[in-house]
Amino acid sequence: MSIPNLRPESQTSAVILPSTGTVGDVAATLPYGIYKESTDFLSGAAEQVAYVYKKLGGDVLDIEIKADNVYANYEEAVLEYSYIINSHQAKNVLSDFLGTTTGSFDHKGELKSSSLSSSLSGTTMALKYPRFEFAYARRVAEGMGVDAGVGGNITEYSASIKTVSGQQDYDLQTIISSAAATGTDAAGNTVPYADLVGNKRVLIKRVYYKTPHAMWRFYGYYGGLNTVGNLSNYGQYADDSTFEVIPTWQNKAQSLAFEDSIYTRNSHYSYEITDNMLRLYPKPVSSSPSYFWVSFSISTDPWEKNDRADDGIDGVNNMNTLPFENIPYANINSIGKQWIRRFCLALSKETLGQVRSKFASIPIPGAEVSLNGSDLLSQAKEEQEMLRTELKELLDELTYGKMMVGDAESVEAVNNIQKKIPLKVFVG
């Protein structure tokens, strides 16, 4: 598109507003120069001069602004439009972006080259539609699942505790930390949590012990009535049974879950845990069972990354770190460009008002001329606020959630219409 060379002429005095200029004129005078590489932007800024000139009555009375002022206001209008659009998109997608890749930005708000991973490098996230994954809700659920013992992203370990006849209290924190430091437990077995505990607190999930392994089972879940068992040591229970050591209150809770009692043997032992100090009831008086076991997890720092999986701890954490850059001018459609033109006009009116507010009036022979600077400023502020509100209200109606509600209403309306359509009588 060729740049029009408009030469407005005042009907009262010398021309104040010069010609619209060339691409080079526009590019050389932009305060930020964010869009100076876009020919479409430069053309739009140059054409805006004629629009502003006509709307402010420049063909009747002088207007005390230059083309450079209009160019700067046009750039600001495009950046304001980009800001509002990106803010709206942030509300749409922030929950799905949390923990994902972000980037580095220069002083103009543009993504620096090679600041993103290879999958995103050289692209603009402002033009991408993210996958809808309930990512934030899933991460919250994972954290709750860890404490509930029904999932999550925290590894659960088991550790053995060698019982001592007559000893009732056992320091689980010290026992587990020592095993992690040496890499082996009290039985000499290699532990999977070696070098992982350090000064971190362990979170005990359950306490249990097991009977010795044997070949035959008797009255076990997988056993039978006529199977030979060792009645002298194990009674009527199956060999290799797991005895769950539980506090008293849990007995009542278990009575509410009959299915759980099928799989779990209740021990005559009970326990209390305070500050990871285990106290067994009654006091062990023999070496049977020789070992108690505990299931535990290791407390994690909320800022500490999980080396075994990408848990989304790095990356986007709020709206500020979303990888949104200024919207490319070439991707702004006619709706956006018309809003930009109107906003630029309001900004230019503000500029003119600022100039005319320097003096309330200008003396002329025999009288003085009053200037309307304050009126222009007031009008400009109102128009800018009106345009911002207009755009934000439109975008609020176009959030992903609102559009899904609209789609649901459309489907419901179609279903209601179809209910009233008489069906053909089938003959066959």
pLDDT tens profile 177-220: 999 999 998 778 899 999 889 888 998 888 888 765 543 444 44
Let me know: does 391 contact 339? Beta carbons within 8 Å: yes
- What are φ and ψ of residue 96, in 5° steps? -85, -15
Longest dimension (CA), the chain: 128
- What are φ and ψ of residue 250, in 5° steps? -75, -25
Paired sense of beta strands 242-245 and 265-266, if any = parallel
Gap between the Cα atoms of 199 and 308, Å rounded: 20
Confidence of residue 343 (pLDDT cuts 50, 70, 90): very high
User: What average pLDDT does this structure show over 126-154?
Assistant: 73
Determine the pLDDT at residue 228: 44
The answer, yes or no, to whether residue 8 has pLDDT greater than 80, is: no
Neighbours of 193 (CB within 10 A): 20
Helix (H, G, I), strand (E, B) or coil at 161: strand
Percentage above 90 pLDDT, the chain:
25
Letter for the amino acid at 150?
Answer: V
Residue bearing the bigger pLDDT, 378 or 253: 378
User: What average pLDDT does this structure show over 3-31?
Assistant: 62
Letter for the amino acid at 316?
Answer: V
Class of residue 63 by CB neighbours under 10 A (exposed 0-12, middle 13-18, buried 19+) = buried
- What are φ and ψ of residue 205, in 5° steps? -100, -40
Q: Taking the CA of residue 168 as centre, how many other CA atoms within 13 Å lie in the half-sphere pointing to its CB?
A: 9
For the chain, the domains span 23-95+324-418, 155-298
Top-confidence range, 102-106, 306-310, 374-378: 374-378
Gap between the Cα atoms of 272 and 246, Å rounded: 9
The answer, yes or no, to whether residue 171 has pLDDT greater than 70, is: yes
Gap between the Cα atoms of 313 and 24, Å rounded: 46
Confidence of residue 225 (pLDDT cuts 50, 70, 90): very low
